[in-house]
């Protein structure tokens, strides 16, 4: 593969790992995974989710990093160059194009939820949760959603935070932000776990999450766990590919993927343990759904000694996690713009920032003034974007990448880039050619049934 001239790269393998973990750990782990565990009956869902991470998640993460590093380009030009190398149609670049748009679409609603989190930092810090009950917590949340200007304020701030980092480039922006935010995030997480072990009902939480009860493993739980494994590991849209394109040649892709998957899953499970400890100790409902962290946890924070502090720390943790993920959502588009147009990184960041800011306005209005606007499948704007990206575009992108790496690229190129011993390579190849694609096709079968 010919080189593309000077290109930024991560300072070392740790910064790459931090950044990839930063991308993976986000609202998906802290906001979505716990409520999905709660809604899907606890331990059964956890076990299936873990199996999906091992069977499809890790092999696909290796695949995406491999594609990025071999191409040394943004996902669009990267897929095109790799297709050229394999004498395959250059139409494969559309996998990159679709990923780039998926990233922009995801950020438009991701930024709104991250905005809720920013608002809840202020609420927790100002003691607003003291002694509130379920009805009050719900009212706070609903009143907030009904106030477009407030939502707009936080959305604007989050877009500035995200593009502000990306504008500074790989080393001074992405790498530095992850170096500061990720260790802080892990430290806050430890404090929260320690606290919930001491003050919450940790034993019951652990039992709820880990005592295996296979009677609850339904087909729906299996497939939604698989879909969430993609979202949680940031797979299928080129974020991991573009991060891989900044990776030096000597770093082991397999080891990095396994570490990132372990940290991502570990954080999700630890946050879940902390949340359910507080939920059970306060007699709250584990199956509360998407409102879990916004409507349930404030009640627990309002009751506990030191709850203002713990609540503030919790929402800061979520904000940091969302921030490091959001950066990776726009990086494919920014890399494409800077490598293909005369725009500088800063100008590209403005362009993408404004685009996503406008898209986000449509999303935030869908919680109030445009509540009755329905797009695809009769869903509102927020739900349409969520479904379209996480359940259609990402799995489709993952499927295409698996097929490309497993069936289109030359096997010796793939093996050379992955640097795996033969037996491990054969195992990976088997997964990427058959197991992962079949699993993704199964998601689609489920989805078409769901959406109809």
Which is nearer to ligand PHE, 380 or 397 (by Cβ)?
A: 397
Cα–Cα distance measured from residue 407 to residue 81, given in angstroms and rounded to the nearest whole number: 16
Which is nearer to ligand PHE, 21 or 337 (by Cβ)?
A: 21
Is the Cβ–Cβ distance between 239 and 21 less than 8 Å? no
Which is nearer to ligand PHE, 24 or 263 (by Cβ)?
A: 24
CB of residue 112 vs ligand PHE: minimum separation in angstroms? 13
With 0-12 / 13-18 / 19 or more C-beta atoms within 10 angstroms meaning exposed / middle / buried, residue 245 is buried
CB of residue 265 vs ligand PHE: minimum separation in angstroms? 11
Q: Under the rule (CB under 6 A), what is the footprint of ligand PHE?
A: 23-24, 26-29, 106, 231-232, 234, 237, 239, 325, 328-329
Is the Cβ–Cβ distance between 170 and 10 less than 8 Å? yes
DSSP summary character for residue 236 = S
CB within 8 A of 378, min separation 6: which ones?
A: none
Is the Cβ–Cβ distance between 385 and 105 less than 8 Å? yes
Which is nearer to ligand PHE, 110 or 202 (by Cβ)?
A: 110
Give the H/E segment covering residue 11: none
Q: Cβ atoms within 10 A of the Cβ of 16, count?
A: 24
CB of residue 108 vs ligand PHE: minimum separation in angstroms? 13
Which is nearer to ligand PHE, 69 or 429 (by Cβ)?
A: 69
Which is nearer to ligand PHE, 26 or 173 (by Cβ)?
A: 26
Residue environment code for 282-300, b if the CB has 16+ CB neighbours within 10 A, otherwise e = bebebebeeebbbbbbbbb
Which is nearer to ligand PHE, 237 or 335 (by Cβ)?
A: 237
Give the H/E segment covering residue 6: none
CB of residue 16 vs ligand PHE: minimum separation in angstroms? 15
Cα–Cα distance measured from residue 32 to residue 34, given in angstroms and rounded to the nearest whole number: 6
Is the Cβ–Cβ distance between 234 and 325 less than 8 Å? yes
Which is nearer to ligand PHE, 296 or 325 (by Cβ)?
A: 325
CB of residue 48 vs ligand PHE: minimum separation in angstroms? 17
Closest residue by Cα to residue 93 from 67, 116, 69: 67
CB of residue 139 vs ligand PHE: minimum separation in angstroms? 28
Closest residue by Cα to residue 26 from 109, 146, 95: 109
CB of residue 53 vs ligand PHE: minimum separation in angstroms? 12
CB of residue 228 vs ligand PHE: minimum separation in angstroms? 9
């Amino acid at each position: 593969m010919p080189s593309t001239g000077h290109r930024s790269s991560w300072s070392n393998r740790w910064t790459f790992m931090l950044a990839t973990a930063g991308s993976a750990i986000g609202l998906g782990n802290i906001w979505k995974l716990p409520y999905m565990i709660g809604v899907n009956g606890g331990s059964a869902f956890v076990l299936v989710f873990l199996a999906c991470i091992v069977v499809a998640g890790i092999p696909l993460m290796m695949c995406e990093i491999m594609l990025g590093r071999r191409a040394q380009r943004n996902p669009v030009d990267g897929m095109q160059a790799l297709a050229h190398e394999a004498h395959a149609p250059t139409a494969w670049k559309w996998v990159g194009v679709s990923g780039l748009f998926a990233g922009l679409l995801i950020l438009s609603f991701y930024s709104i939820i991250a905005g809720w989190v920013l608002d809840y930092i202020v609420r927790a810090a100002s003691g607003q949760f003291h002694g509130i009950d379920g009805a009050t917590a719900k009212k706070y949340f609903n009143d907030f959603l009904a106030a477009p200007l407030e939502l707009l304020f936080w959305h604007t701030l989050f877009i500035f935070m995200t593009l502000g980092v990306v504008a500074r480039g790989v080393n001074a922006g992405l790498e530095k932000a992850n170096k500061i935010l990720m260790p802080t995030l892990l430290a806050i997480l430890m404090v929260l776990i320690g606290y919930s072990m001491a003050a919450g009902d940790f034993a019951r939480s652990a039992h709820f999450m880990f005592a295996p009860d296979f009677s609850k493993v339904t087909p729906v739980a299996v497939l939604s766990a698989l879909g969430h494994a993609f979202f949680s590991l940031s797979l299928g849209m080129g974020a991991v590919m573009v991060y891989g394109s900044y990776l030096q040649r000597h770093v082991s892709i397999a080891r990095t993927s396994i570490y990132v998957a372990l940290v991502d899953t570990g954080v999700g499970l630890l946050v879940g343990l902390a949340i359910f400890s507080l939920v059970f100790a306060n007699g709250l409902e584990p199956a509360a759904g998407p409102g879990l962290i916004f409507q349930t946890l404030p009640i627990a924070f309002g009751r506990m000694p030191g709850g203002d502090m713990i609540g503030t720390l919790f929402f800061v943790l979520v904000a940091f996690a969302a921030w490091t993920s959001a950066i990776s959502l726009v990086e494919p588009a920014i890399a494409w713009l800077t490598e293909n147009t005369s725009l500088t990184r800063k100008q590209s960041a403005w362009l993408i920032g404004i685009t996503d800011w406008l898209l986000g306005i449509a999303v935030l209005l869908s919680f109030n003034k445009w509540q009755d606007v329905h797009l695809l499948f009769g869903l509102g704007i927020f739900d349409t974007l969520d479904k379209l990206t996480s359940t259609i575009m990402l799995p489709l992108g993952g499927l295409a990448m698996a097929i490309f790496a497993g069936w289109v690229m030359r096997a010796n190129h793939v093996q050379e880039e992955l640097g795996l011993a033969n037996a491990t390579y054969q195992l990976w190849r088997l997964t990427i050619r058959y197991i992962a694609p079949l699993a993704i096709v199964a998601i689609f079968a489920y989805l078409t049934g769901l959406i109809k």
